[in-house]
Structure 1
Amino acid sequence: MWPKNCWYIAGFAQEVGQKLLARKLLNQAVILWRTAENKLVAMEDRCPHRLVPLSMGELVEDQVQCGYHGLRFNAQGACTHVPGQDNLPKAAQVKLFRVVERHALVWIWLGAAELADESLIPDMHWLDAPGWTPTTGYHHMKADYRLLTDNLLDLSHETYVHRETIGNSAVADSPVVTSVEGGLIVRAHREMPNIDPPPFFSLMLNHTGKINRWQIAVFMPPGMNMTDVGAHPVGTDREKAAIFRVLHLLTPETEHSTHYFWAVCRNFRLDDAPLGEGLKKAIIHTFDEDQRILEVQDRCLQEEGMPSIPQAAVKVDIAPVQGRRLLNDVIKREQENPSAVIRPLLMADDAKVAQPPAMAAE
């Protein structure tokens, strides 16, 4: 269902403080918190005494106190206190997970601990790099994370699902060029020249006339997705286009639920707070629309016994099918070789403005 020897996102860095944050990640119950020295801690949400979730307790003097019998565990997972007795049972140890803060995100390694390597953390620098302003949010999706990636690799649905924000007829009618890079990244490139701007693009450009727009759906297993978006008024220079790097960062919760951490990172109007507020409102509305579709789709698939999809393939399925193949290859490699890890590639190059596929190939 998913590989484990890779870094997943457990939350935004700002979510994790000196209070227990409980999350289920890859069917594993976890609690996250910070010590008084700001050290990140991720441990199993399970008291080794009577298996009650530690998240039902609280932090006391930089330690997790179980809400059932008051046993305490320090940041190393060791039991330090049992009410009513002096001796500490050796079996009272809580499992820890490797956790790292980078790019304003908290990354967790749930696979083989000896394989955890910080150099394998994907580059998401747009969240905290100079020259970019992020607008962030979170959706809890009751759907298989693979359905979310399918949806993000086939953006033709914008015409029908998102007509109030980012979609119009130009999206579904524009041809897509799909490519695979390094056996790990799928790119689905769509150019939309001389089109009417959907509402979202009128907001971002403060312009209601014709625009040139492109978007590249980018996927890297297991759940790193980006929509690389550019737009500029017709008659202006492509090199000066307004660019969005829309990050869709997926961590499976269970087989049929997903943590969807998202960020709309822009390279223009960086200090425009009202623009950021408008973008957030529009994006929440957009992803709410995705959520309705995807959760219904997941329920339908479960009712039919989880058949393979698409049942009737069309052209727009090329990128999602390629994405599934790459993901399946990664899962298979890990099953055949328990030491296999995912070595991420760069999803977008800030030094280059995306060119139409025919020009890029020259």
Structure 2
Amino acid sequence: MWLKNTWYPAAYANELDEPFLARRILGTALVLYRASDGTVTALEDVCPHRLMPLSVGRRVGDDIQCGYHGMRFDVEGRCLEVPGQTQVPAAATVRRYPTVQLHGFIWIWMGDESLADPALIPDLHWNDDPHWTASRGYHHVAADYRLLNDNLQDLSHETYVHARTIGNGEEETIANFPVKVTVEANRVVRAWREMPNIVPPPFFSAVLDHPPRIDRWQCAIHLVPGINMTYLGVYPVGQPRSGAAVMHVLHLATPETETSCHYFWSGLRNFKLEDKALTDMISKAVGDTLAEDKVVLEHQQRKLAEMGAPAVPRVAIRLDEAPLRARRLLDEWLQRERENPGSVITPVPLVPAS
């Protein structure tokens, strides 16, 4: 269910301002930290002596010291010191995973490290681009990351789950606006909607200073295995589309366990870049919106456990086209990795250059 030979977001870059960060990725416990020269390391979070998590130890300069017997390990996972003896056992090493800091994230490669080419990291430059302003956040979701992908590919739920924030009322339910679903390069699914002349949902009304009606477009974009973006624009009816307020909302799903995931999100805008009050408002609005998704996803996961993990959806409807295509792509890539362990996903642009 997990692709190994791909880059996953493991943390925001600023999370490593702390001495170290403990995080589980693809079922593996890790300890991440930044050395004094800026090097980022991710070590398996276990001392090879008596399996004590290194994350309950302490930093000693650029090394990490086990909190049980004081063994010290460097950024490469090599043991430098064993208290009480001069000889360091050759087997006293901790696995290090490849990491790259890019676009404001720490990326990690959990598979064959010989394949860990930084050029395979998707282009999410908006997250630290001076022409865009970011409102970032994180949710821990006690649900399979595939449920999160499903949710982000079918935005018709906004009317019902997000009525207080980004959803239209039932008289203009998003489901009633046709969606065009396409698959690109066998790795990207796009679900595009145009919503002309609608009453603005609360969030977009505030962004545009409360016009009576707006034109809106949105595209749910999914790159296997867990990179999602909502590309959207809104503008008052009667004004040119070229003047739309545009947002790229990143939704990055990194599996933690089979029933939980890390949800890194960032609302990126190309307007009112210096308006800190707006940045804070968007942070809260997006955070509140995605917290509503978290409730739904965790309800689903509990029901899956209760019912013995049946396939979802049990009954497919027209709105499931994009999520089902994304799941099929993931299954194809999982099969490809099993049959050819050297296969990797090369990125494609999520949004065409303008």
TM-score normalised to structure 2 length: 0.98
Aligned to 1:128: 128
Contact 1:98–1:109, Cα closer than 8 Å, also in 2: yes
Map 1:67-86; keep pairs closer than 5 Å: 67-86=67-86
Aligned to 2:268: 265
1:150-180 deviation digits (Å, cap 9, x = unpaired): 0001100000000000001332221111111
Aligned to 2:35: 35
Amino acid at match of 2:284: K
Amino acid at match of 1:199: P
Map 1:8-47; keep pairs closer than 5 Å: 8-17=8-17, 19-47=19-47
SS of corresponding position for 1:340: coil
Q: Say if 2:241 is the partner of 1:238.
A: yes
1:36-62 deviation digits (Å, cap 9, x = unpaired): 111111111010111111001010121
Aligned to 1:175: 178
1:310-330 deviation digits (Å, cap 9, x = unpaired): 111111001110010111111
Alpha-carbon distance in 2 for matches of 1:226, 1:188? 11
Q: Can you give the 5+ residue segments of structure 2 that lack an aligned partner in the other structure? A: none
Alpha-carbon distance in 2 for matches of 1:223, 1:309? 18
SS of corresponding position for 2:30: strand
Map 1:1-362; keep pairs closer than 5 Å: 1-17=1-17, 19-168=19-168, 169=170, 170=172, 171-351=174-354
Contact 1:43–1:94, Cα closer than 8 Å, also in 2: yes
Aligned length: 351
Q: Report how far residue 4 of structure 1 moved.
A: 0.4
Q: Report how far residue 129 of structure 1 moved.
A: 1.4
SS of corresponding position for 2:239: coil
Alpha-carbon distance in 2 for matches of 1:333, 1:189? 28
Kindly report structure 1 stretches of 4+ aligned residues shifted beyond 4 Å: none
Contact 1:18–1:35, Cα closer than 8 Å, also in 2: no
- Residues 132 and 350 from structure 1, CA distance in 2 versus in 1: closer, same or farther, beyond 3 angstroms? farther
Alpha-carbon distance in 1 for matches of 2:185, 2:147? 23
1:40-99 deviation digits (Å, cap 9, x = unpaired): 111110101111110010101211000111100011211111111111111111110100
Amino acid at match of 1:155: L
Aligned to 1:355: none
Alpha-carbon distance in 2 for matches of 1:89, 1:38? 29
Alpha-carbon distance in 2 for matches of 1:213, 1:283? 17
Q: Report how far residue 350 of structure 1 moved.
A: 3.8
Alpha-carbon distance in 1 for matches of 2:143, 2:315? 21
TM-score normalised to structure 1 length: 0.96
Contact 1:18–1:36, Cα closer than 8 Å, also in 2: no
Q: Can you give the 5+ residue segments of structure 1 that lack an aligned partner in the other structure? A: 352-362
SS of corresponding position for 2:335: helix
SS of corresponding position for 1:156: helix
Alpha-carbon distance in 1 for matches of 2:94, 2:225? 27
Contact 1:150–1:320, Cα closer than 8 Å, also in 2: yes
Alpha-carbon distance in 2 for matches of 1:269, 1:61? 42
RMSD: 0.9
Alpha-carbon distance in 2 for matches of 1:138, 1:18? 17
Alpha-carbon distance in 2 for matches of 1:279, 1:208? 18
Alpha-carbon distance in 2 for matches of 1:114, 1:324? 27
Contact 1:153–1:188, Cα closer than 8 Å, also in 2: yes
Q: Report how far residue 130 of structure 1 moved.
A: 2.6
Alpha-carbon distance in 2 for matches of 1:298, 1:344? 30
Alpha-carbon distance in 2 for matches of 1:43, 1:31? 5
Alpha-carbon distance in 1 for matches of 2:28, 2:17? 20
Alpha-carbon distance in 2 for matches of 1:154, 1:319? 7
Alpha-carbon distance in 2 for matches of 1:336, 1:6? 16
Alpha-carbon distance in 2 for matches of 1:18, 1:63? 14
Q: Report how far residue 208 of structure 1 moved.
A: 3.0
Contact 1:158–1:172, Cα closer than 8 Å, also in 2: no
SS of corresponding position for 1:16: helix
Q: Report how far residue 18 of structure 1 moved.
A: 5.1
Contact 1:21–1:31, Cα closer than 8 Å, also in 2: yes
- 191-200 or 81-90, which moves further after superposition? 81-90
Alpha-carbon distance in 1 for matches of 2:196, 2:86? 74
Alpha-carbon distance in 2 for matches of 1:64, 1:229? 44
Alpha-carbon distance in 2 for matches of 1:83, 1:17? 29
Alpha-carbon distance in 2 for matches of 1:85, 1:309? 56
Contact 1:18–1:59, Cα closer than 8 Å, also in 2: no
1:293-312 deviation digits (Å, cap 9, x = unpaired): 10010110111111111111
